[in-house]
Amino acid sequence: MKLKAPPVWYGAVYYPEHWPENRWATDAKMMRAAGFNVVRLGEFAWCRMEPAENKFTFDWLKRNIDILAREGISVLLGTPTAGPPAWLVNAKSPEQDCRMLYEDGTRWEFGGRSLCCVNHPRFIERSRRIAHALGKHFAKNPAVMGVQIDNELGMYGTRCYCAHCVVKFREWLRKKYGTINVLNERLGMIFGGGEFRDFNDVPLPRVRQDLHNPGLLLDSQRFYSDANVAFVRMQAEALRQAGVWQPITTNVCHMFSGWTGIDGRALFADLDVAGWDCYPQQFAADPAPATMGLLHNIARAYKEKKYWMLEQQSGSPFGMAADDVRRIRLWAWQAIAHGAEMILYFRWRTCRFGGEQYWRGILDHDAKPNDRYRMIARISEEINRVKSHLVGTAGPRRAAILLDFDNCESLTLSAAYGAPRVSYRELAEQYYEALRRRGIPADVVFSVPDPGRYDLLVAPLFRIINETEAASLRAFVAKGGTLVAAVCTATFSRDHVAVADPVPWLLADVFGVERIEWSALGKLAVPPKERLGEDSVAWKKLGSADTIPVIGKGKTLAGTFTARAWCDHLQVTTAKVLARFAQGTPPGPAPAITVDSFGKGRAIYVAAVMEQDLLNRLIAMLVEPDIGWPVSDSAQVEIVPQQNGAGRLCFILNHGADAVSVRVPKKAVDLLSGHSVRKAIKLDPYDMVILSWRIQ
Ligand SMILES: [Zn+2]
């Protein structure tokens, strides 16, 4: 069977089990009137699907699906494993207790969600059975357009310390290292006299315990990631065995750190489409365009294709003032501009009870049509107006940002030991922002791209590296690419052991510099509480200056700027210095930014976490904007170019509360209004346009 998919699936997350059955038909009619073609159902309804062990009751769900189908609305079914029922959680014996055991020795009591261990045999088996039963019951239902596995894996942490996890971690290590002596040697367990006699000596290392081996900590996070990936794969296999032919996905919330402890690329490798949950206001009341832009592009990078927005903010979350509904439209179009083929607002109606009573849905508690409902209906009309233009679009991709699971996770896990005190996401976002200002919304890549695929590659905090990756970076530059490395580059092996050669390891001649010293600056950026306790030493300020001045040289970089978080002290061999740290403060007049040519390309080393303005100037010096596309240097304007066989599209989004004007290089058509645009277009606060140029 083949799915007939619209250019954009559009709808909401819906919990029919939260509302009386005599309300369902009204909801479905209102959804249809708002232009919905899909809703997501079921991801927390295990207790209604299997109220007692092996007693499956899907009739209520079938009745709801039938009602929705009569209104032309398809269903994305959720496997309910994020909401395990009481009969499973409240175990009869300690062996059956499948709740996660946290680092502090506690287990969550029944009543929350996502509280079971993905390594517990009973939880795995019951999850497999419910996924299979759900699949068997609904695979042939023509209204079902896809399946979502679980919900926001890793949202409440991945690190479980139960006996099953300990045993499986040791098995994981045995498979990786073969013998305990190899493990001892590679990770340097002799430090602190910590060598193991056999694999049964190895603990699951606790993040809060001071001076645990960083390589072992990183291995443990790789293990938890693999366990979650295996849990999702197990459900996908059960669904396929049950006859599910529709696309299968899961929703990650990679917005909170890097990957919430799970490697997204591995997670989606065996699934059909990537999906994520986007709540812009969980970062700030006025989130920067780059924050969401980067996260959208991470989602697109998981499978290097378009993706699904499985939860999109429909109203301000907990405890926030009611938001301007124009931003609901702005953020939905931002998602589509970056490659979303599904927009599911979270949620259809604010729940009257439970822990999310203040989490705004589209409708409020009273279910009356409101401004949010009317705006969401308007967006649907707009999508229908332009949907034929959205098919097969892709951006002209000139630049990429290299992100890496090990580098992201190790920064948090070993933050206490003097690692750069900057968030991995925020550092990547700085470079994304600088490129965005130049009219280039950078791709994300998870491995070094082939030479020639991109003009420019940014490698922020790429401190953990292997020989193959170093060789790939050399080739990227030698064959004409521009490489920008930021902070602490190529200093550790993949075992998290410092290299014994000059750094950047195997790349010193490419950059024309060697690092001779380093300084950590200021206080650690606050890591997620569930990952690193407040009592950790990482939370203590170590007493160094928060920032130091940087003096830029030459026409574009001239001026005084600030650096924070970390300084690499470089010694130049063949590179040219573009900026220096100011004299009189550590590290004295050492180079802060350098450039060197290597082969046909060039390599730039940025030795500290720099202020945004300096990075904007640096990127402006390195790349010219694309001719023929609108460009704006306004911080509040986001421009996302796209093209397909029929022509070019350009999404222009105003994220600010002020009106703006954007120059348009040649006559275009405003797709939503149908009007011609010449020279410039004015955008009201939070407004957006899609400009089009057809191929003649
Ligand atoms: Zn466990």
CA of 173 from ligand 1 middle (Å) equals: 16
Which residues are 217's β-sheet partners? none
SS (H, E, C) 314-342: CCCCCCCCCCCCHHHHHHHHHHHHHCEEE
pLDDT digits (tens, 9 = 90+) for 44-83: 999 999 999 999 999 999 999 999 999 999 999 999 999 9
Please tell me whether residues 383 and 403 are part of one structural domain: no
CA of 366 from ligand 1 middle (Å) equals: 41
Contact 49, 58 (CB under 8 A): yes
Structural domain count, the chain: 3
Please tell me whether residues 405 and 342 are part of one structural domain: no
Is residue 574 one of the residues assigned to a domain? yes
Please tell me whether residues 536 and 593 are part of one structural domain: yes
Is residue 365 one of the residues assigned to a domain? yes
Q: Does residue 112 carry a pLDDT above 50?
A: yes
Domain ranges, residue 37 = 9-81+139-157+243-389
CA of 162 from ligand 1 middle (Å) equals: 4
Strand 668-670 relative to strand 676-677: parallel, antiparallel, unpaired?
antiparallel
- Per-residue pLDDT, 585: 60
CA of 94 from ligand 1 middle (Å) equals: 13
Please tell me whether residues 601 and 668 are part of one structural domain: no
CA of 56 from ligand 1 middle (Å) equals: 27
For 216, the 3-state DSSP assignment is helix
Please tell me whether residues 419 and 527 are part of one structural domain: yes
Contact 471, 434 (CB under 8 A): no
Say which amino acid occupies 1.
M
What is the sign of the dihedral through the CA atoms of 315, 321, 325 and 329?
negative
SS (H, E, C) 618-637: HHHHHCCCCCCCCCCCCCCE
CA of 97 from ligand 1 middle (Å) equals: 10
The C-alpha atoms of residue 253 and residue 244 are separated, in whole angstroms, by 25
Strand 9-13 relative to strand 340-346: parallel, antiparallel, unpaired?
parallel
Please tell me whether residues 585 and 690 are part of one structural domain: no
CA of 158 from ligand 1 middle (Å) equals: 9
What average pLDDT is seen over the chain? 92
Quick one: which of 593, 522, 518, 582 has its CA closest to 549? 582
Strand 608-610 relative to strand 559-572: parallel, antiparallel, unpaired?
antiparallel
The C-alpha atoms of residue 429 and residue 283 are separated, in whole angstroms, by 13
CA of 575 from ligand 1 middle (Å) equals: 50
pLDDT digits (tens, 9 = 90+) for 552-608: 999 999 999 999 888 899 999 999 999 999 866 666 789 999 999 999 999 999 999
> Final residue of a domain: which of 362, 389, 416?
389
**Residue 435: CA count within 13 A, CB half-sphere:** 25
- Per-residue pLDDT, 404: 94
CA of 495 from ligand 1 middle (Å) equals: 24
Please tell me whether residues 571 and 474 are part of one structural domain: yes
Secondary structure letter of residue 566 according to DSSP:
E
For 248, the 3-state DSSP assignment is strand
In the chain, how long is the greatest CA-to-CA distance? 76
What's the CA angle centered on 145, arms 379 and 647, to 5 degrees?
50
The C-alpha atoms of residue 15 and residue 481 are separated, in whole angstroms, by 50
Please tell me whether residues 550 and 654 are part of one structural domain: no
The C-alpha atoms of residue 475 and residue 450 are separated, in whole angstroms, by 8
CA of 220 from ligand 1 middle (Å) equals: 12
Say which amino acid occupies 280.
P
Instruction: Give CA torsion, residues 670, 674, 680, 683, to 10 deg.
Output: -70
Please tell me whether residues 602 and 650 are part of one structural domain: no
Contact 567, 548 (CB under 8 A): yes
| Secondary-structure percent of the chain, ordered helix, strand, coil, rounded to 5 | 35, 25, 45
pLDDT digits (tens, 9 = 90+) for 263-301: 999 999 999 999 999 998 877 888 899 999 999 999 999
pLDDT digits (tens, 9 = 90+) for 505-529: 999 999 999 999 888 776 544 443 4
CA of 105 from ligand 1 middle (Å) equals: 12
What's the CA angle centered on 345, arms 392 and 370, to 5 degrees?
125
Please tell me whether residues 366 and 454 are part of one structural domain: no
pLDDT digits (tens, 9 = 90+) for 676-686: 999 999 999 99
